[in-house]
Amino acid sequence: MKYIEAMGEKKDNECIFCSKPQGDDRESLILHRGERCFVMLNLYPYNTGHVMVSPYRHLPSLEQMDPQELSEMMELASLCLKAIKRAMRPEGFNLGMNLGKVAGAGYDAHVHLHIVPRWQGDTNFMPVVAGTKVMPESVEDSYRRLKEAFEKVMGD
């Protein structure tokens, strides 16, 4: 319900991938900042630990990113996998992009990579039968665990 209400209040010109890096990292759920890209926990996750990697520049698609941005996005994706594995021990991952509104992008004007940890049995009948999703951990708790894991893997 929180997501549905927020989408109704979303300003047409607001881009979270542009505005969130301007604020406080904890409030913005930013887990790590690179030179050209950053990692942010998804406020409305598909699954616990769902993060997004995005360039700071407001670009709608991969082909408009420069080679350094593309390289850093993949380096940060690898860092995300290490940190999420350390903090949450998932059994697998989904990585993907929704390019364009018709492809399901909530923010289609700013390219971002979704990284979603997966566990055996993490999807069940609830979304189909009850129209709801059960999240075993709060976003705040996920942020704390992942922030600690990012700091540790950066030190390795």
Catalytic residues: 112
DSSP reduced 3-state for 115 = strand
DSSP one-letter code for 61: S
Query: Scanning the structure block, which residue is given the tokens 């996750």?
Result: 45
Residue 108 and residue 70: Cα distance in Å, rounded?
Answer: 18
Sequence-distant (6+) residues with CB within 8 A of 92 are 117, 118, 119
Structure tokens at 15: 């881009």
Query: Scanning the structure block, which residue is given the tokens 């709608």?
Result: 60
